Amino acid sequence: MELSSDIVGPTGRPGNTLHPIANPGRTSDSPTLLLVDDDADIHVLVSVMLQSLGGTIHYAATAAAGLEMAERLQPDLILLDVDLVESTGVELLKTMRETPTLADIPVVFVTGNDSNEVLTACFDAGAADYVRKPFRSAELRARVRSVLENRRLVVQLQRVASHDSLTGLPNRSQLIDRLQQAMARSTRNPNYHFALLFIDFDRFKVVNDSLGHEVGDMLLREIAVRLRRTLRASDTVIRDCDFSLAARLGGDEFVVLLDEVRNERDAYDVADRLLSVLKEPYRLGAVEIVSTASIGIVTSHPSYTNPEEMIRDADTAMYEAKAAGKGRHMLFQSAMRTVAEDRLVLENDLRHAISRGELYLVYQPIVSLADGSLESAEALVRWNHPTRGLTSPDQFIPLAEETGLIVAIGHWVLEEALRTFAGWLEAGRGPRSISVNLSRRQLSHPNLVNDVDELLRRYEISPDRLHLELTENQIMFDPTTSLHALARLRDLGVQLDMDDFGTGHSSLACLLQFPIHILKIDRSFVASMCSGRDAMALVEAVTRLAQNLQIRVIAEGIETIEQLDILKDLGCTFGQGYLLSRPVDASRVLDYRLPDECGTVLKCREPESPAY
Ligand code: C2E
Ligand code: MG
Ligand code: MG
């Protein structure tokens, strides 16, 4: 590790040059470190001890200088003295955590006092680790190396998690982040307007079904290229828009966010241009395809309170454009809101669903990839609607969330799942544990922990046999409340699983500070693992990061033997997916048998006795 010339002394002015910087470029092999310590001698000592790591170590003697250098250098890691001259390391770290550009930088404390109080204060403030003074070089190196490795994986994950692996465009979560920013800006400044264009390729399904997924993927990549190219020509097309973003939501659905539009005309101009660019013929290998696209437009309005509402309305307008003959754009109008009215009827029906006995549970097995044994079963709720028939949770859970009905439904699900599980235990067969999904509203509900505790006691189930699943977005919606509730659940002894990992739009670094036992890698990554390098990189990085943090991993949505094989090799602990089993009735869980082809891959040995 090189000593940096960029040394800020107690006066805040650059200090003497000790060594030239060997390699100012930032790569994962040459990390940039910042040491904040009032004892200048430490700088030389630490540099010598960390020499084998490569990279550069910068030095600041005071908290103020440390803050300024951290902002400017964006180091990979900060070594922070607990006792600074005019402040404390803990105070400095608290300030950093409140500064968005610094919040994710890992901090390792250095201290001569490793009493419980000091260490608790450090970890409460968000420290990644600590090292004792006087330093032992092996310990210092090992701790710094391990924190750097985790940081590298987190950065890699963040990049992959915000982009669509097929087209390289920003994905839904990044779009939502940007939309949130735009909405916040329009609330502050009523003269600022933006627009959202929802684009759907009119013949995509035909192409995909008749010419195969490979051609379908080529088509999607080419659409992405055209969108990017058109939006980049901002001087002629998008005139005054100084910012625009094209994202892929999934399938053939693309969205363009146009910043700083003056009125609807601006959005129409861009939509016209996109329609003409997208209908040019596509040469894909040996075939040529011609198709139009349909675009739904929505412009910013104070009545929108969240990004999903805007995306939903742009989607509705896109359907109207298709219904009116395709190859055109249509502006969203409130008269298109029959969808919304439909939801009101559904909401009313949902209110009575529990009391009328219309809800029931199915269970999807979760299997150990080490030996094929049945680890858990995820309870998934179904609604048998009197006129609509079987209604998928994707249709009614979001509605139940919005209306608050989810608290009652969630309680019913938890009780029903535990009652069923108690029956399995009594039968002496079935999975070792049971997994239940929780919603954001349940997590922030004051009765949650007591309810869980009471139900576990009532059915005489040991808490470590219950997994509660939560998504990143649910946890990050209100991190303070979540942390409190999760800590209480952990203290109760239940297992906490992070569901659909990789699809959220939160800071992964912060997230890892929550007491999570298991990560469930979202099925979209498992699905594109064999075709997209990014998806494979994410799965690999998550598994390694989890191993470093001693968190177990469940891979969701395993549909092929090839995926199963790769995931086992990567060291994923558990798997779930149609290949292993679709969600089934409670009685069929008891008779679960691993499909023969999976047994061969997992080299399954029959358990000699039941799994518990
Ligand atoms: P989730 O927790 O990620 O559940 C997994 C979903 O993936 C289930 O869909 C399951 O049927 C589906 N799935 C499993 N393996 C595969 C596969 O190999 N391929 C494919 N294409 N899909 C697979 P489902 O039952 O429609 O549930 C959707 C979501 O609804 C769940 O996602 C969960 O977030 C929510 N949900 C379901 N039941 C409950 C509940 O009781 N409470 C709450 N709060 N949410 C629930
Ligand atoms: Mg789940
Ligand atoms: Mg999931």
The DSSP-derived string for 234-263 is TTTSSTT---EEEEEEETTEEEEEE-S--S
By alpha-carbon position, which residue is closest to atom 21 of ligand 1?
Answer: 557
Ligand 1 pocket test, candidate residues 360, 437, 443, 444, most atoms within 8 A of CB: 437
By alpha-carbon position, which residue is closest to atom 27 of ligand 1?
Answer: 393
The string of pLDDT tens digits covering residues 141-199 is 999 999 999 888 888 887 788 888 899 899 998 899 889 888 988 888 888 899 999 99
| Of residues 597, 601, 606, the one with CA closest to residue 567 | 601
By residue count, the chain amounts to 612
Task: Give residue 563 CA to ligand 2 midpoint distance, Å.
Answer: 19
The string of pLDDT tens digits covering residues 22-31 is 233 344 568 9
Distance (Å, whole) CA 7 – CA 9: 6
Task: Give residue 469 CA to ligand 3 midpoint distance, Å.
Answer: 8
The string of pLDDT tens digits covering residues 81-95 is 998 878 899 999 999
Q: What is the DSSP letter of 465?
A: G
The Cα diameter of the chain in Å comes to 79
Ligand approaching nearest to the C-alpha of 394: 1
Task: Give residue 456 CA to ligand 1 midpoint distance, Å.
Answer: 23
By alpha-carbon position, which residue is closest to atom 42 of ligand 1?
Answer: 437
Whether residue 3 has pLDDT greater than 70: no
Whose tokens are 């502006």? That residue is 331
Torsion of the alpha carbons at 266, 252, 380 and 368, rounded to the nearest 10: -130
Task: Give residue 430 CA to ligand 2 midpoint distance, Å.
Answer: 19
Structure tokens at 270: 């861009």
Which residue type, as a one-letter code, is found at position 267? A
Say if residues 140 and 79 touch (Cβ distance below 8 Å): no
Using a 6 Å cutoff on CB, does residue 31 contact ligand 1?
no
Using a 6 Å cutoff on CB, does residue 423 contact ligand 1?
no
Residues whose CB falls within 8 Å of the CB of residue 353, separated by 6 or more in sequence, listed in order: 359, 383, 385, 409
Distance (Å, whole) CA 304 – CA 194: 12
Using a 6 Å cutoff on CB, does residue 577 contact ligand 1?
yes
By alpha-carbon position, which residue is closest to atom 17 of ligand 1?
Answer: 557
Query: End-to-end CA distance of the chain, in Å?
Result: 51
The string of pLDDT tens digits covering residues 293-325 is 999 999 998 888 889 999 999 999 998 898 888
By alpha-carbon position, which residue is closest to atom 12 of ligand 1?
Answer: 557
Distance (Å, whole) CA 609 – CA 600: 20
Whether residue 548 has pLDDT greater than 90: no
- What is the distance of C-alpha 320 from the center of its chain? 32
Structure tokens at 246: 């094209």
Backbone angles phi, psi at 215, to 5 degrees: -65, -40
Helix (H, G, I), strand (E, B) or coil at 89: helix
Which residue type, as a one-letter code, is found at position 554? I
